[in-house]
């Protein structure tokens, strides 16, 4: 089941999509849930918090990356000249604080490269027994969650037709619920950052 089960680091059905007023495909709120997602996001007994964040983040990254790959052929500099989600435009901010507007596929490539760099850095995401997480680990996790949400929001707002045509809306809705519940539980996203998908989040009764 997509978006529900996490990987270990160390050791059908769908409703027809309605049409919105602009003629764009509107997502159904159907989901595929095989258990209580509220309990799924809870820190397991005896588990280290940072390890749980790391394991879960890796799973979310893999799933969201998979969904973006499904729509990526139609996410081009021509179809998506900027990284947008509804009325929100995301601009890349470099290490010097300079903001740059880039096409959506380039933005996703930049953030994906950044995330992969963090995930493979032994000093950030240690995999060796006895290694310690850095003091700023949770700040790094929050930054990555922000980027992952932006990619999800772009998929929903710019590529809904593709997701619906493939019958994947129930799957991605379930992933979104899991992602938001996890972010809420561990305070990984600010309420203001959820604005592009706030209406859908309410419809899905996440909170």
Statement: residue 7 has pLDDT above 90 = no
- The pLDDT tens digits for 105-120 are 999 999 999 999 999 9
Statement: residue 184 has pLDDT above 80 = yes
pTM of the entire predicted model: 0.85
Query: Within a 10 A sphere around the Cβ of 30, how many other Cβ atoms?
Result: 16
- Max mean pLDDT among 48-52, 158-162, 196-200 falls in 48-52
Please compute the mean of the pLDDT values over residues 180-200 and round it to a whole number.
95
Predicted local distance difference test score (pLDDT) of residue 1: 28
Q: Classify residue 130: in a domain, yes or no.
A: yes
Q: Classify residue 7: in a domain, yes or no.
A: no
Q: Classify residue 37: in a domain, yes or no.
A: no
Predicted local distance difference test score (pLDDT) of residue 8: 35
Q: Which residues contact 57 (CB under 8 A, 6 or more apart)?
A: 141, 144, 145
CATH code of the domain containing 186:
1.20.140.30
Q: 154: domain range?
A: 51-203
Q: Classify residue 75: in a domain, yes or no.
A: yes
- The pLDDT tens digits for 146-181 are 999 999 999 999 999 999 999 999 999 999 999 999
Domains held by the chain: number: 1
Q: Classify residue 90: in a domain, yes or no.
A: yes
Q: Are 173 and 150 in contact (CB under 8 A)?
A: no
Predicted local distance difference test score (pLDDT) of residue 37: 77
Statement: residue 200 has pLDDT above 80 = yes
Query: Within a 10 A sphere around the Cβ of 172, how many other Cβ atoms?
Result: 26
Q: Classify residue 18: in a domain, yes or no.
A: no
DSSP string covering 40-83: HTSPPTT--HHHHHHHHHHHHHHHHHHHHHHHGGG--TTT-SSE
Statement: residue 15 has pLDDT above 80 = no
Statement: residue 14 has pLDDT above 70 = no
**Mean pLDDT score of the chain:** 86
Statement: residue 59 has pLDDT above 90 = yes
Q: Classify residue 99: in a domain, yes or no.
A: yes
Q: Are 53 and 186 in contact (CB under 8 A)?
A: yes
Q: Classify residue 22: in a domain, yes or no.
A: no
């Amino acid at each position: 089941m997509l978006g529900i089960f996490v990987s270990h680091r160390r050791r059908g059905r769908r409703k027809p999509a309605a049409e919105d007023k602009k003629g764009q495909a509107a997502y159904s709120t159907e989901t595929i849930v095989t258990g209580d997602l509220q309990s799924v996001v809870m820190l397991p007994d005896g588990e280290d918090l940072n390890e749980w964040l790391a394991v879960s983040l890796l799973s979310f990254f893999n799933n969201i990356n998979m969904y973006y790959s499904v729509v990526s052929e139609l996410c081009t500099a021509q179809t998506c000249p900027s990284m947008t989600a509804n009325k929100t435009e995301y601009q890349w901010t470099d290490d010097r604080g300079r903001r740059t507007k880039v096409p959506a596929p380039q933005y996703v490539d930049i953030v994906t490269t950044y995330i992969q760099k963090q995930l493979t850095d032994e000093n950030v995401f240690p995999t060796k027994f006895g290694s310690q997480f850095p003091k700023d680990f949770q700040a790094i996790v929050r930054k990555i969650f922000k980027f992952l949400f932006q990619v999800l929001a772009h998929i929903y707002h710019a590529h809904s037709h593709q997701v619906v045509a493939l019958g994947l809306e129930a799957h991605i809705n379930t992933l979104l619920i899991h992602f938001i519940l996890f972010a809420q539980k561990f305070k990984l996203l600010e309420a203001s950052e959820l604005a592009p998908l706030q209406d859908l989040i309410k419809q899905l009764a996440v909170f």
